[in-house]
Structure 1
């Protein structure tokens, strides 16, 4: 049976089933109060990995998490991402991996999250218009300054991961991946070979609604929800997978966290492994 914990970079221990904060509303009012309650409940349930990003509200999501959870519980990792900014003539969101932009977003994240060091910082996307050595070099400098503990990537190919590993020590990769969307299986295999954490986003795509009949059938046989089956499959599929399902509802959060205890039989795994893929 696979372990329920993973050591990111070999020394940062987290429970493998995390929480993605992207869906939490941040505007003032009842929705924000509900978001604060969800974040706090996640930690009460033992979640130790929470994912956010500068892109999520231009830092508003980071501020929300700090309001909900600061001072942070021992062992809680809030990881954030940089590299997408409002820039250009119309100030639309776009990839921006210029070193000064990355540095500024890291400084803002430190302030918003109320920490002196980001234990795990991920590059949200590689900017094709900026040399990779410049982008990762900027993060490596911030790491040497003590403002970043470890560096990860998001939405990369195997070739990009290999290139990045020539420049920095990559400890995590965050790519789109789920039971019914395994386009990045080669990237997962590369991460597994190097003991790099693989954080799938949209981890229950195609399952939360029970749209996939076979997932729904397995769920019914196990007395579980389709999303729980999808998360259990991910946890079972590779020891480096750290799913980060997101929700703005406490009941969905509790259901997701309970998936950690769901056990699939070999027959169930075989049926799920054969599912058609829908990227």
Structure 2
């Protein structure tokens, strides 16, 4: 039986320069409960990351706030020295006060500090993709993006991304510096960022949907995901990922998991080929 790898998801050039397989991996679930503290089994987390790389995953999404400072060290332990095709995208701009607590801080000095720490913790000379984790409403957007541009100009960052932004904020940022990626909440059950996705597609900006596997009641027995999954000998999660990959050529899903078995199932979604009728059925499942 042939193992499906992330190669089957196709390729995308982030900012026209960073070539990645479209199905990536998100590291948030490798931390403790509430995205706080270390995982119960760090060795297993390392196994998951190494297996992802073995399965052709080349885009690994992380953040300094995952843990905090837990996911980035795990990536270094698992994958350094990094193969040349591995792209690590990290984020700065959210602080942590405890489990499930997140507060944006976009002061330029803080963003610079976190960039410097990520460089050191990941063990790289330049961050391939640094994303503003959240826009801090207390700090002018031009100051936040301007600091990321300064880091890029200094050679510490190769490409700049944003997270949880509007179309207007994307255009504000693009007036300052090229924007390589946007990471917003988006999945089959929640398409509130449809306008942002469409905007990214028009401008060839990578769209990285976080929480890509939220399927909720759609996956329950008798629901459209469950029925179609049964017909295709797939899982509801695999269908949700396959739908995302079909939705737009700029879509780069980053499903996360702390299980090697679930990782392998997620990657296998890259091999699913949905018909136009399948896509229409899934799309219409949520009005």
Per-residue deviation, residues 70-99 of structure 1 (Å, max 9, x unmatched): 111121011100001248xxxx74110000
- Secondary structure of the corresponding residue to residue 72 of structure 1: coil
Confirm or deny that 1:243 pairs with 2:253: yes
* Distance in 2 (alpha carbons) for counterparts of 1:13 and 1:25: 27
- Secondary structure of the corresponding residue to residue 186 of structure 2: coil
Equivalence map 1:133-148=2 (5 Å): 133-148=142-157
What is the deviation of 1:208?
A: 9.9
Show the counterpart of 1:67.
Answer: 77
* Distance in 2 (alpha carbons) for counterparts of 1:28 and 1:54: 13
Show the counterpart of 2:29.
Answer: 23
* Distance in 2 (alpha carbons) for counterparts of 1:50 and 1:134: 27
Per-residue deviation, residues 30-64 of structure 1 (Å, max 9, x unmatched): 61111010000000000000000011012211011
Show the counterpart of 2:141.
Answer: 132
- Secondary structure of the corresponding residue to residue 41 of structure 2: helix
Equivalence map 1:196-207=2 (5 Å): 196-206=205-215
User: 1:175 aligned to 156, 176, 184, which one?
Assistant: 184
What is the deviation of 1:211?
A: 3.1
| Cα root mean square deviation, aligned | 1.8
Show the counterpart of 1:85.
Answer: 95
Structure 2 runs not aligned, ≥5 long: 1-7
Structure 1 runs not aligned, ≥5 long: none
Say if 1:208 and 1:227, in contact at 8 Å, map to a contact too.
Answer: no
For normalisation by structure 1, the TM-score amounts to 0.93
What is the deviation of 1:209?
A: 8.7
- Secondary structure of the corresponding residue to residue 201 of structure 2: helix
Equivalence map 1:1-279=2 (5 Å): 4-25=10-31, 31-86=41-96, 93-206=102-215, 210-211=219-220, 213-276=223-286
Per-residue deviation, residues 151-199 of structure 1 (Å, max 9, x unmatched): 0000001111111111110010000000111000000000000000000
Residues 112-121 or 20-29, more deviating? 20-29
Say if 2:25 and 2:255, in contact at 8 Å, map to a contact too.
Answer: yes
- Secondary structure of the corresponding residue to residue 227 of structure 2: helix
* Distance in 2 (alpha carbons) for counterparts of 1:233 and 1:84: 30
Q: How many residues align?
A: 272
For normalisation by structure 2, the TM-score amounts to 0.91
**Structure-2 change in CA distance of 1:254 and 1:240 (3 Å):** same
Say if 1:154 and 1:173, in contact at 8 Å, map to a contact too.
Answer: yes
